[in-house]
Structure 1
């Protein structure tokens, strides 16, 4: 009866999959949620519950939460991990794509959190863990809408941390650096499609090359999803979790530099890292 229940979105691959497995190993009843449940057969075989959930579809979100409540009567840990990176020059990204980016990375996260808060508030305990990014603290070239969404996740998380603390609910932000998942390849395709021709082509192709590299095995500047999963479990099991966990190669130094360097000097550093002319 005391076994805690965790819900992890974006559970079909990468960080979500690694997190679901790690929480399961730590003794949680885990629900891994994703649109494509057929990609979660390995999780189901390992003992993780899998459930269909599209964070942009209110009925889907409500049905998933109701199903977990019907089975267990509680959700103790919510890991808002579902997201993607929409890259392209602001001038060239259609506002329909901008809306899609915010719908997944921000508004979907917010809606699921809205539905989970009353459950945790009634028990006067719970942990909401939002997977942000170092990109929620600074920006990279051609990532305007992605960074807007992650900066918003940081602000939203800071605000609800204040309002939920009186109810015994902790709010934690995880800020990964570059992680070796399919995220990089998807973002690379986005930037090539949107800005790979025309005035931003030089920047777009340089950025795409770097994003693509982060998805390939052996890329030395990208960490494995497991480092994020470890941070999630640490936050989920701590008596008093930290408010932020910066994880992965270079995450902490880059955040530190973004605070202390003049903006233009930090801009030049980031452009150089992406192979974009200063």
Structure 2
């Protein structure tokens, strides 16, 4: 596929659904040369028909990441932008979540994401220009019962993104964290199986059933993926992006939470999600 040298290039991971799909479409609307990557190639066919280059990617597989990086290197050399959107979550108490399942979340949400970034970064750094958008979550700033492991993976992503932003400043590569609130994506359905399984636990079942009810109620007011896509595109196209962007339903809690004493915050969360004061 031929392209103009003036066309900006961007890789969007997790582009088969939700935020990644909406972001890829919006970037195509804005004239970007889009590489769309995910495990499910068939789900990205609408993007391919619009001119995106559709590529296979499994973040948990280093070989898959290397193959993708090699393809992009041959096509464009250095990307203008990287949108690290791919990730997933499971629910469950810290005590009972099998460590191998928690580790799998970290493999995708942290190690796979940063591993791919390490492969794509050198040409951007050498050219002294580029922008990296890392998709975190409000769970990357505070956690709630039943989502500790997922929140921990997003806290880790926030920390590594802060370090990367500081390290790359003098090389002209900007790093931005986007923190969506409750968004109508596949997160709720992906975590539904683990929620239902944990709800049967003799000790933690009552709490997890309350957690599930609170999530169901919250997701009724969830924002659409397009809200996050607009934020991502704005962060890519503004001349001086902010280090962090929050967007979507309940993301305003990020403004309030730092000013609430921890004991009071804990009490409010317990009351809403566990039924305890």
TM-score by length of 1: 0.94
Task: Output the aligned Cα RMSD.
Answer: 1.5
- Matched residue of 1:245: which SS? strand
User: What is the deviation of 1:205?
Assistant: 1.4
Show the counterpart of 1:268.
267
Show the counterpart of 2:92.
88
Indicate yes or no: 2:14 matched with 1:13.
Answer: no
Q: Is the 8 A contact 2:18 2:185 kept in 1?
A: yes
1:70-85 aligned at under 5 Å gives the runs 70-85=74-89
> 1: distance between equivalents of 2:51 and 2:159?
35
The match for 1:177 among 181, 192, 196 is: 181
User: What is the deviation of 1:208?
Assistant: 2.1
Indicate yes or no: 2:124 matched with 1:120.
Answer: yes
Indicate yes or no: 2:97 matched with 1:109.
Answer: no
Show the counterpart of 1:45.
49
Show the counterpart of 1:257.
256
- Matched residue of 1:234: which SS? helix
1:177-256 aligned at under 5 Å gives the runs 177-212=181-216, 219-220=220-221, 222-252=222-252, 254-256=253-255
Unpaired runs of 5+ residues, structure 2, are none
TM-score by length of 2: 0.94
Q: Is the 8 A contact 2:128 2:171 kept in 1?
A: yes
CA distance 1:196–1:47, shift in 2 (3 Å): farther
Aligned length: 273
Q: Is the 8 A contact 2:198 2:205 kept in 1?
A: no
CA distance 1:8–1:204, shift in 2 (3 Å): same
User: What is the deviation of 1:195?
Assistant: 4.6
> 2: distance between equivalents of 1:214 and 1:104?
25
Indicate yes or no: 2:35 matched with 1:35.
Answer: no
> 1: distance between equivalents of 2:17 and 2:218?
15
> 1: distance between equivalents of 2:269 and 2:117?
33
> 1: distance between equivalents of 2:48 and 2:65?
20
> 1: distance between equivalents of 2:180 and 2:90?
17
